[in-house]
Amino acid sequence: MDKLIIIAGPTATGKSDAAVALSKAIGGEVISADSVQVYKGLDIGSAKITKEEMQGIPHHLIDVLEPEEPFNITIFQHMAKEAMKGIYERGHIPVICGGTGFYIQSVLYDIEFTAEDTDMSYRHELEKKSTEELYAMLKEVDPDSCETIHANNIKRVIRALEFYHETGYPISAHNAEQRSRKPAYDAHFFVLTDDRAKLYERIDARVDKMIAAGLVDEVRALKERGVPRMSTAMQGLGYKEIYDHLAGECSLDEAIYKIKRDSRHFAKRQITWFKREPDAIWIDRSIFTDPSREIVEFMLSQLSQHS
């Protein structure tokens, strides 16, 4: 089977830096598994890696869509597979890097997805309901999905309800069945983590840095451009909260508080998700004195043991 490296984990654990350093050592190219970095113009709030930070390593699925365009799991899977095809042809190794666990698993296990619902009447009915009503409906028919889907992620909540409406079967059970498939690649799955308190401190500091770097102006420009509020791009953490602020629905301080709170909750759900991966190699940043160097050395030692 073709080789595949995965570097996953919660937000703010240094995944991008590790992916670049490892790619330099093994002849890799990075594929971003991120639902926001794929969009042009969403740079600050997505903590998008810069050209300088890439250090010459090719990166795929970054800055490839306009903010008005849709992006979902099936689009990601198709684009990632296309990128991987080219990487293998060049004799390189794909390094999937990101915190969106379902995206990563869609490639690793070559998950099959059902066709999108063609009956739009049920979706329109759901779109009229409040966030609280939708989440209550999901808890009733598919409580397991509530462990990995945040109430504010309306698109995923609606898709889960649609799936149940179409099939009478929870989408969480369908996804679990798909995850039980064997990996389609000779994969090494690394998960970066950290002491919980340190991780939350870094998340808060990252949000403050984003605000100082101009996140409000970035969202304002997207709003003035006419990017719809319910677009996939505007559902990203940091973007929807600042959009609410610009719409006069909350103060900037309230928006910042929500971003930090929801980012911490998101990190917790990411850890829960990756704990389901049976062959993952967990790497705790807190045990290293020089994480940026020692983490990559540890990854290389693991790769050499299984080469």
For the chain, strand residue ranges (E) read 3-8, 28-32, 59-60, 93-97, 186-193, 281-284
Enumerate the domain spans of the chain: 3-111+182-215+268-305, 120-176
Q: Compute the distance between CA of residue 268 and CA of residue 68 in angstroms, rounded to an integer.
A: 29
CB 290 within 8 A of CB 229: no
Domain covering 3-111+182-215+268-305: architecture: 3-Layer(aba) Sandwich (3.40)
Task: Return the SS3 of 160.
Answer: helix
Burial 245-278 (b: 16+ CB within 10 A, else e): bbeeebeeeebbebbbebbbebbebbbebbeebe
> What pLDDT is recorded for position 118?
47
> What pLDDT is recorded for position 167?
81
pTM for the structure as a whole: 0.83
Neighbours of 122 (CB within 10 A): 14
Q: Which residues pair with 59 in a beta bridge?
A: 30
Q: Compute the distance between CA of residue 47 and CA of residue 61 in angstroms, rounded to an integer.
A: 14
Q: Compute the distance between CA of residue 77 and CA of residue 85 in angstroms, rounded to an integer.
A: 12
Mean pLDDT per 10-residue segment, the chain (307 residues): 96 95 98 96 96 97 96 92 98 96 92 64 86 94 90 87 86 79 93 95 97 98 94 92 96 98 93 90 95 95 87
- Ramachandran area for residue 146 (φ above 0: left; ψ -120 to 50: alpha; else beta): alpha
> What pLDDT is recorded for position 175?
77
Say which CATH topology domain 120-176 has.
Histone, subunit A (1.10.20)
Residue 39 DSSP symbol: B
**Burial class of residue 180 in the structure, from the number of CB atoms within 10 Å of its CB (0-12 exposed, 13-18 middle, 19+ buried):** exposed
